């Protein structure tokens, strides 16, 4: 049996992530392991928690730091149990088995600990505090992208019907692994899928080489097409391509070739994740 790890809170992003997880679980016969994490930052900085988390909406000025800590902790535990109850009810109606984990700690680390027992990790692109974070991707999500070695599906707030999948390819090890997930995608979504592999290059020599690589990869796959796009701004080109070609899901490696450039300027992956409004499946 397949296992899906769903990191969830009470946000609209998480509710959409739950719906997508259920759809996948039904199609491949998977169990959903539901994770709710009471984050340390919400406990050790309760005043900040009150600002960034609508659950912690008030406190008594006469309370000690310890009192505020316990109040925050108890409210978040109650929220976690409420989320589990609602999630279990929905999954039972859909015939999907669930196991719930209520943890206290750092979200990324808790996901990492459980990820190796699962085939896919699913989470919303933002959580409860997203309305305060503007266009910045949550640091927890970026950290998860960097430390887990399982496919990671990041789900937006808006529900999407998956019919057309784009695979961003740069011939890196991560991209090669992502390409191999294509066959699994056919079993995850029962509808006939269309795959488009594309690569962004910035010179003619690279364009010719990539044309040959993509042609070889897609040669015997009837539902795969390919394109090579010319741009010195890969993130912008990827975002434009997804928007202009009605892509429902973007698959890409968590990182490409230039790790040094990513450390200095920020990765293409991070820039895409901050701005895209479609589900993204990452692999590293």
Domain ranges of the chain: 2-155, 164-283
pTM above 0.85, yes or no: no
Instruction: Report whether 194 contacts 223 (CB < 8 A).
Output: yes
Helix (H, G, I), strand (E, B) or coil at 278: coil
HSE-CB for 179 with a 13 A CA cutoff? 22
Q: In terms of DSSP bridges, do strands 249-253 and 280-283 run parallel, antiparallel, or are they unpaired?
A: parallel
Angle, helices 139-147 vs 107-115, to 10°: value is 30
- CATH tag, 2-155: 3.40.50.620
pLDDT at 137: 44
Token representation of residue 231: 């741009």
C-beta separation of 47 from 71 below 8 A: no
Look up residue 257 and give its DSSP letter.
S
| SS3 state of residue 106 | coil
CB atoms within 10 A of CB 280: 21
Query: So what's the pLDDT on residue 246?
Result: 92
Largest Cα separation within the chain, whole Å, is 71
Which tens digits make up the pLDDT trace of 5-61? Answer: 999 988 888 899 999 999 999 989 999 999 999 887 666 654 444 444 445 555 555
Two domains, one topology: 2-155 and 164-283: yes
Strands 152-155 and 280-283: antiparallel
pLDDT < 50: residue spans in the chain: 46-54, 129-137, 257, 259-265
pLDDT (0 to 100) of residue 144:
85
Answer CATH for 164-283 from 3.30.70.920, 3.30.300.20, 3.40.50.300, 3.40.50.620: 3.40.50.620
β-pairing, 164-168 vs 98-105, is unpaired
Contacts with 197 (C-beta within 8 Å, 6 or more apart), sequence order: 166, 167, 169, 179, 214, 217, 218, 224, 225, 226, 227
């Amino acid at each position: 049996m397949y296992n899906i790890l769903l990191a969830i809170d009470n946000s609209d992003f998480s509710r959409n992530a739950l719906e997508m997880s259920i759809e996948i679980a039904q199609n491949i016969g998977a169990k959903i392991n539901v994770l709710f994490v009471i984050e340390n930052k919400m406990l050790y900085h309760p005043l900040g928690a009150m600002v960034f988390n609508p659950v912690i909406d008030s406190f008594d000025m006469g309370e000690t730091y310890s009192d505020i800590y316990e109040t925050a902790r108890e409210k978040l535990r109650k929220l976690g149990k409420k989320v589990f109850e609602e999630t279990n009810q929905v999954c039972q109606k859909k015939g999907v088995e669930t196991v719930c984990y209520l943890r206290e700690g750092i979200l990324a680390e808790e996901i990492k600990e459980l990820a190796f027992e699962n085939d896919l990790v699913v989470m919303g692109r933002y959580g409860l505090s997203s309305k305060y974070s503007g266009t910045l991707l949550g640091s927890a999500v970026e950290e998860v992208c960097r430390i887990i070695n399982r496919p990671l599906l990041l789900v937006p707030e808006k529900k999407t019907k998956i019919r057309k999948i784009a695979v961003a390819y740069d011939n890196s090890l991560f991209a090669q692994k992502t390409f191999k997930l294509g066959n699994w995608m056919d079993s995850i979504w029962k509808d006939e899928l269309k795959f488009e592999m594309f690569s962004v290059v910035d010179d003619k020599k690279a364009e010719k080489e990539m044309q040959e690589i993509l042609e070889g990869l897609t040669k015997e796959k009837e539902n795969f097409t390919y394109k090579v796009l010319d741009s010195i701004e890969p993130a912008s080109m990827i975002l434009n391509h997804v928007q202009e070609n009605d892509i429902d899901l973007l698959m890409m490696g968590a990182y490409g070739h230039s790790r040094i450039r990513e450390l200095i300027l920020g990765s293409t992956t991070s820039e895409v994740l901050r701005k895209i409004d479609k589900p993204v499946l990452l692999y590293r």
